[in-house]
Amino acid sequence: MVLWAIRILYFLMIMAILLLGFSEGGPFAFQQAERLEQHFAMAVIGCLAVLLLGLSADMLMPRKNLAALAGVFFGLIAGLIIGLALNFVINFFYEIYGITASSNPDLYIARNGIKLLVNLFCCYLAITWVMQTKDDFRFIIPYVEFSKQTKGNCPLLLDTSVIIDGRIADIASTKVITSPMVIPRFILNELQNIADSSDRLRRNRGRRGLDVLNKMQSNPDIDLTIQDITLTGKEAAEPVDHKLVSAAQKLAGKVVTNDYNLNKVASIRGVDVINVNDLANALKSVLLPGEILQVEVVKPGDQSGQGVGYLEDGTMVVIEQGRQYLHSDVEVVVTSVLQTSAGRMIFGKIDTDSD
């Protein structure tokens, strides 16, 4: 919206220059009436050329980011400096070719109009370039710094495994995720290839992933987009996991996955990772030795006399001397808690003090 406002303002200023330029005392005004018609068409063509050149240069830029007021201000300063330098070039050109009021009055009078158009053109391009590229470089001046944005609502790029897993849809439905989620086109293509696989299990996994995507897209509370991300030839030839990390670097985003290997690759390349398994483990209830649980013994343990039960969140509880209570609800006193890469395990014993 801000960019379009600047584009409209740029158009109106070009038109204002054209109209005021031919008014009395304007830079394009001529004392001889016969010269007015001759040069009016040239002035119109020149203004339209500057207008189209500026808009085309802006429209062809692939990335469009929301601009800040500081970007407009510093872009304007940069544009004025560049325009001033080009004005010196124009004056030097006039001196080199000996264009004066007596030798070529028409071109000499038009010099002010040319300078104004050049300044306007430079300011416009400088503002749009600063606004659209301020996240890609560090622009430092006293008390002000533009740097690559890595905080705030950075995009979350979803991996194939986390889409097939499906828990991300439930997490997003709780509205705890405020950042936009992005599905790169190559991830969607991989899901489609998995869904078309001849292997039944692999095909079912791919179809589940597509169903999860449809569920997330139909939820108005989830900001999910499928995006084409431009990669270099070398990056495009990489495996899907590496392409996802490259895409996250280009978008200054984070990778969401439950793939341990992808987690390592992304960490090595300096990309932040959100691992759904780590998130699930972090949300499990914290238990301390001495606390009492109500657990059903569902199967015998590996060691003699042990019984095994599970909490509602799936945490395994190993019960000392609990085999004799198989398929019964018992009260268990927590003795220790073990955190492993596979999850959390709780060790306990039967509460003999309970009634």
Which domains, and CATH codes, for the chain?
Answer: 2-146 (no CATH), 156-282 (3.40.50.1010), 292-350 (2.40.50.140)
Does 124 or 28 have the greater pLDDT score? 124
pLDDT in tens, 337-355: 887 656 678 899 988 775 5
**More confidently predicted of 228 and 108:** 228
For 18-33, write each residue's pLDDT tens digit: 666 655 555 555 444 4
Q: CA-to-CA distance for 249 and 235, rounded, in angstroms?
A: 12
Distance in angstroms (rounded) separating the CA atoms of residues 99 and 106: 10
Angle between helices 260-268 and 240-251 (to 10 degrees): 50
- Three-state SS at 175: coil
The per-residue pLDDT for 149 is 47
The whole-angstrom separation of Cα 260 and Cα 179 is 23
* Maximum average pLDDT range among 66-70, 129-133, 255-259, 350-354: 255-259
Contact by Cβ (8 Å): 139, 145: yes
CB 214 within 8 A of CB 166: no
Considering 91-105, 150-164, 202-216, the range whose residues carry the highest mean pLDDT is 202-216
Q: How many CA atoms lie within 13 A of 96 on its CB side?
A: 6
Tell whether the model's pLDDT for residue 63 goes beyond 70.
no
Q: According to the model, what pLDDT value does residue 1 have? A: 60
Tokens of 83: 């325009």
pLDDT at 164: 92
**Residue 24 pLDDT:** 55
The total of other beta-carbon atoms located within 10 Å of residue 321's CB is 13
pLDDT at 309: 92
Q: Quick count: other Cβ atoms within 10 Å of Cβ 157?
A: 26
Tell me the chain's radius of gyration from C-alpha atoms.
33
Distance CA 80, CA 86 (A): 10
pLDDT surpasses 80 at 47: no
Whether pLDDT at 147 is above 70: no
Residue 66 burial by Cβ neighbours in a 10 Å radius (0-12, 13-18, 19+): exposed
* CA atoms of 164 and 310, how far apart (whole Å): 25
pLDDT of amino acid 41: 64
- What is the C-alpha to C-alpha distance for residues 299 and 318, in angstroms, rounded to an integer? 10
Average pLDDT, the chain: 78
Is the CB of residue 212 less than 8 Å from the CB of residue 281? no
What's the CA angle centered on 12, arms 8 and 16, to 5 degrees? 170
Please state the φ and ψ torsions of residue 78, each to the nearest 5 degrees: -60, -40
